[in-house]
Amino acid sequence: MSSQRRLGRGLEALLGRSLDEQGHPPVPQATDPMGEPIGEAENFVDPGVMSRDEEGQRWLDIGVIEANPFQPRKHFDEEQIADLADSIREHGVLQPLLVRRLDGRFQLVAGERRLRAAQAAGWQRVPVQVRACDDRETAELAIVENLQRTDLNAIEKATSFDRYLREYDCTQEELGRRIHINRATIANLVRLLELPQEVKQMVIDGALTAGHAKSILGLPADQQTTFAKRVSSEGLTVRKTEELVQEAAQGGLRVVGDDGVSRQPGATRSEQIAALEQELTTALGTKVALSQNAKGAGKITLHFKDADEFERLRAILRGEGQPVTNAA
């Protein structure tokens, strides 16, 4: 099953239908913030703010719709918004926005690109569905909608996953089940947040792909920024980046560190051990250190940043989880 179909199913499970469906969906019974039916929403809202057309579709004044605080997307392509605004002028808003009533206010749940485009098109009101959502479901809907539509950059995805995991004390496996995404995909993305800020900004700006960034994680932290700049300036492919990182792990590549000193990573260590470390680091999605004495005895050290990461590694070692290299 493709990733797109999995995301569609996840959103359908949350919304009751896929956002890819066009036309006007059935208008649900309005509810109060606790999910209890309240009858006709217009009886509880100033008619100057909300109205219903002859087909039963609710229309809400744009000025009273608050932003979704759980919106993962921080950067909106103005050219894409302008194109969508042109489409709205010609065809209208084909999919109503999803909003929730919160303490007498209306807060956007899904549809920020459509809301921005409608504003750009000069609309005063937009079609909406009113749904009772708690904060957790609102966060899930925001994540899934953005993953299904125009892709977020990898850092925005990682940040939205990480925020959700922390706010709801949730494991990666549980989040994966709730939004129908492979846990390994979540683990791979969250690891990108370990990169230096300058490298993360390069991913946000499009100078590096998520594939480049995942490869760069295999280098020591003090060499990642300089190497990332090289990847960007030379236009290296992800495959070439992986080869160079592997070569660095084996001591055959000189890398200039942040201190300006050129050195051979791992040059003083066994090439075989360095290669094994890189192989395990890539497979497990976390830093792995190997040491061995003259008699052949040694130890393997696995690094983890929090309890969730520990449980992920524990599941892999017990044969209950998947290595991150299986991620899409």
Q: Go through the domains of the chain in sequence order and give each one's CATH number.
A: 3-149 (3.90.1530.30), 207-268 (no CATH)
Residues 6+ positions from 117 with CB-CB distance below 8 Å: 81, 82, 84, 85, 87, 88
Closest CA to 223 of 202, 199, 204, 239: 199
Residue 195: the pLDDT is: 93
Computed on alpha carbons and rounded to an integer, the radius of gyration of the chain in Å comes to 24
Query: Please, which residues have CB within 8 angstroms of residue 139's CB and are 6 or more apart in sequence?
Result: 70, 160, 163, 164, 167, 168
Supply the pLDDT for residue 118. 92
Q: Would you state the pLDDT for residue 324?
A: 55
H-only helix segments in the chain = 3-15, 78-91, 112-120, 135-148, 154-167, 172-179, 183-191, 197-205, 210-216, 221-234, 238-249, 271-284, 307-317
pLDDT at 196: 94
Q: Is 244 helix (H, G, I), strand (E, B) or coil?
A: helix
Contact, 52 vs 58, CB < 8 A? yes
Decide: residue 71, CB within 10 A, 0-12 exposed, 13-18 middle, 19+ buried: buried
Q: How many helices and strands (H and E) does the chain possess?
A: 13, 10
Whole-number pLDDT of residue 45: 60
Can you give the pLDDT at residue 31?
Answer: 46
pTM of the entire structure? 0.55
CA dist 119 and 323 (Å) reads: 45
For 9, residues 6+ apart whose C-beta sits below 8 A from its C-beta are: 180
Question: What values do phi and psi take at 149, rounded to 5?
Answer: -95, -150
Q: What is the full per-residue pLDDT of the chain (328 aa) written as tens digits?
A: 444 444 444 444 444 443 333 333 343 444 443 344 444 444 456 666 787 888 888 898 888 898 888 887 777 878 888 988 999 998 888 889 989 988 778 999 888 889 999 989 989 889 998 888 889 988 888 887 777 665 678 898 888 898 889 888 888 888 888 888 888 888 888 999 999 999 999 999 889 998 999 999 888 888 899 999 999 999 999 999 988 888 876 665 555 555 555 555 444 445 667 778 777 877 787 888 887 766 667 888 888 888 878 888 888 888 776 665 444 3
Determine the pLDDT at residue 232: 93
How far does Cα 241 stand from its chain's mean position? 23
Q: What are phi and psi of 237, to 5 degrees?
A: -75, 165
pLDDT of residue 182: 85
Catalytic residues, by residue number, are 112
Question: What was the pLDDT predicted at 238?
Answer: 92
- Nearest one of 258, 257, 285 to 193, comparing CA atoms: 285
- DSSP structural state of residue 153: P
Q: How far from each other are the two terminal CA atoms of the chain, in whole angstroms?
A: 11
Distances (CA, A) of 238 to 91, 105, 211, 268: 40, 47, 6, 27
Q: What pairs with residue 37 in β-bridges?
A: 31
